[in-house]
Amino acid sequence: MRHVHLFTMAMTLFVTSAFPLLARADSIEFGAATRCDQRVGIFELAALVQFNEQITVVSSSLQGTRQLPHGTHRLQCEVKDKLVNAAVDVYPPSNGHCMGAGYVVVRSFTIDGKNIATFPSDSPFNFKCLGEERMAIAVVVRSLAGGAIEIERCTADDWTWESGYKAVSCVREKIS
């Protein structure tokens, strides 16, 4: 049995040194991206998934979209005459409750100081944890013709390695 174990170790070392590209494991990290375009009148907070070397963002446009690095963020954007504020925490992958692939939480989301009940308190954004029904993957605040403001909330049933987000659904609501 010992010889089998040593042979396995030797083959593993040979494969990883002789064929380094074949010996890589898949990696994934969940995060968030944001976009504020005052000229167009749009604020967007979007799910971001970094899968191996690829980054996928759930966004209506990549132009002006930026990835939020790990840490606490106080985001602010003027959409026409409304001020959008969001407090977002982005955590790196870690040990702990639902944090293995990274963790994003939206602490607050307001428009002109009014709390928008977009995210349940302390529940993850862009991740499904322990029996939650759906995961929030995007929120967009945009100005409409005539000065009205619309908020769009997008959710998904799940995320899988094979197909990404499953059963995405978006709901739009005029808020002024």
Amino acid in position 125? F
Domain assignment present for residue 68? The answer is yes
Domain assignment present for residue 86? The answer is yes
**pLDDT for residue 62:** 60
CA dihedral 51, 90, 98, 137 (to 10 degrees): -70
- Residue that the structure tokens 């005459």 belong to: 81
Instruction: Give the separation between CA 17 and CA 140, rounded to whole angstroms.
Output: 47
Q: What is the full per-residue pLDDT of the chain (176 aa) written as tens digits? A: 444 333 333 333 333 444 445 444 567 778 889 999 999 999 999 888 877 766 666 656 667 788 899 999 999 999 998 999 999 999 888 766 666 677 888 888 899 988 886 666 556 777 777 666 788 888 999 999 888 999 998 888 887 777 788 898 999 999 87
Number of folded domains that form the chain: 1
Query: Do 145 and 128 meet the contact criterion of CB atoms below 8 Å apart?
Result: no
Query: Do 170 and 150 meet the contact criterion of CB atoms below 8 Å apart?
Result: no
Instruction: Give the separation between CA 153 and CA 58, rounded to whole angstroms.
Output: 12
Domain assignment present for residue 7? The answer is no
Domain encompassing residue 63? 26-174
Query: Counting Cβ atoms within 10 Å, is residue 37 exposed (0-12), middle (13-18) or buried (19+)?
Result: middle
Domain assignment present for residue 1? The answer is no
- Residue that the structure tokens 């000229």 belong to: 39
Q: DSSP string spanning 16-69? A: HHH-TTTTPPP-EEEEEEEEEETTTTEEEEEEEEEETTEEEE--S--TT-EEPP
Domain assignment present for residue 45? The answer is yes
**pLDDT for residue 156:** 87
